[in-house]
Amino acid sequence: MAGLSYKIRPAEEEDLPVLMDLIKQLAVYEKLIDSYTATVELYRKYGFSEDAIFGALLVEKIAGEGPDYLGVALYYYTYSTFTGKPTLYLEDIFVPEEYRGRGIGTRLLVELAKIAVEKDCARMDWVVLDWNRPSWEFYRNLGAFPLDEWTVFRMLSPEIKKLAEKL
């Protein structure tokens, strides 16, 4: 598979089945498939409607054998009160295992960095599972660093609803 030829482009609504398939593969890889409850309707609403809150990049193979899509990155923006600028938040990035080590993940991050520069973002943030040491090393080699002094907190839908009902 030497000379793999591909392009990176923004995902479009017609790409929903591909986008969802790649994210489902990521859920399997991260051992989180039980958490995968997304639907085409939800992806359409939050990615490709007037309510859109995320963007996605797809890695599309130009020619050759194998799958037509080699990776995905899903992102959105948050706001840094300290810098006064937006942050590009990388929700997920995934390249199937058989295509890793070919520069695809790096190219996806380069494209995201270009978007962040264009949007005047002060930073890019994302989280990495503790056990995923290959990804830790990959990101460190690109100049990213872990925020050891920060802990991610999460509240799920039942607790959100319960909190919303409090006085």
Q: Catalytic site residues? A: 139
Beta strands of 11-135 (E only): which ranges?
55-61, 69-80, 85-94, 123-125
Question: Is the CB of residue 88 less than 8 Å from the CB of residue 116?
Answer: yes
> Rounded distance, CA 117 to CA 71, Å?
22
Question: Is the CB of residue 77 less than 8 Å from the CB of residue 89?
Answer: yes
Neighbours of 84 (CB within 10 A): 8
Neighbours of 45 (CB within 10 A): 14
